[in-house]
Amino acid sequence: MAKKITPKNKPSKKSVSADFDIVPNGSNESWLYSKVVKEHFFHPKNLVTDASKMTGYDGLGMVGSPACGDMMKIWIKVDKKNDRITDMKWQTFGCASAIGATSMLSVMVTEKKGMLIDKALTVKPQDITKRLGGLPTRKIHCSVLGDKALRSAINNYFLRSGQKHRLVEEQSRIIDKVAKVTDHDIEEAVLEGASTLEAVQKKTKVGIGNPSVIPEVEQLIRFYQEKYFG
């Protein structure tokens, strides 16, 4: 595993020199995010700043794309004897909540001798959100990539270490055959703030040409609402 990396080019935190014209009104007083998010955003833990130096890891996972606004890469090191994750490093393209959430995830996974693999597979976005002291509602979707990237890294570890029987599949099920919309698409829509059938339809077109699936869609919306915002 690469040695602990500290960001080298971190912007100086020295205060602004005192000769600018507009007087502040306590620019520190209100921040969109919690103190914990702020801490993890400005001082990310386990962040990789030079991916070319990342060698000796046991699993590598990547999810998202720059087009959708968030992309995440996770490296893990595993204590094979005890089946625990001993180190997790990451890179993230995204906003403060995405960066904060990945940083927090890396802490959760590696604290107290490291998390058991089986437990790491069950980490949910709201576990991370909770530890962050909450996220603004419309930012919650930024935290959901972390657990997916972690599962992807664990799967990669399973593959590399010949444990194919342990591979976990990210399941998605077609709900609307006409519009080719999966339960995963509905989950995404809910995470992006669609809380009604109409709003989800606007994003996914689910059930518009196929009204028979609407009761199931409504049930899924309630389920994901409960899961993420309940």
Question: Considering only residues 3, 4, 9, 165, which one is a binding residue for other proteins as defined by CB under 8 A?
Answer: 9
What's the min distance (Å) between Cβ of 71 and other proteins?
5
Query: Residue 138: helix, strand or coil by DSSP?
Result: helix
Quick check: helix, strand or coil at residue 220?
Answer: helix
- Select which of 51, 68, 159, 167 is catalytic: 68
Task: Pick from 3, 6, 15, 230 the residue near other proteins by CB under 8 A.
Answer: 15
Element (H, E) at 152: helix 144-160
What is the CB neighbour count within 10 angstroms for residue 115? Answer: 21
Binder to other proteins among 3, 4, 6, 20 (CB under 8 A)?
20
Q: How far apart are CA 49 and CA 57, in angstroms?
A: 16
Contact indicator for 105, 127 with CB cutoff of 8 Å:
no
Tell me the DSSP string of 91-132: EEES-HHHHHHHHHHHHHHHSTT-EEHHHHTT--HHHHHHHT
Encoded tokens for 29: 């007083």
Under a CB-based contact definition with an 8 Å cutoff, are residues 88 and 36 in contact? no
User: What DSSP element (H or E) covers 182?
Assistant: strand 181-182
Nearer to other proteins, 114 or 204 (CB): 204
Per CB under 8 A, the list member of 62, 107, 197, 208 interacting with other proteins is 62
The 67-106 contact track toward other proteins, x by CB under 8 A, reads xxxxxxx-----------------xxxxxxxxx-------
- The verdict on 55 binding other proteins (CB under 8 A) reads no
User: Is residue 202 a contact residue for other proteins (CB under 8 A)?
Assistant: no
62/153 Cα distance (integer angstroms): 7
Q: Within 131-190, which residues bind other proteins (CB under 8 A)?
A: 138-139, 141-142
Asked if 213 interacts with other proteins (CB under 8 A), we say no
Residues in the chain: 230
Could you confirm whether 68 is annotated as catalytic? yes
**Catalytic residue, candidates 108, 109, 142, 200:** 142
Of 24 and 162, which has the nearer Cβ to other proteins?
A: 24
For residues 140 and 220, which CB has a smaller minimum distance to other proteins in the complex?
Answer: 140
The residue ranges that bind other proteins (CB under 8 A) are: 7, 9-13, 15-24, 26-28, 41-42, 44, 47-51, 62, 66-73, 91-99, 138-139, 141-142, 192-193
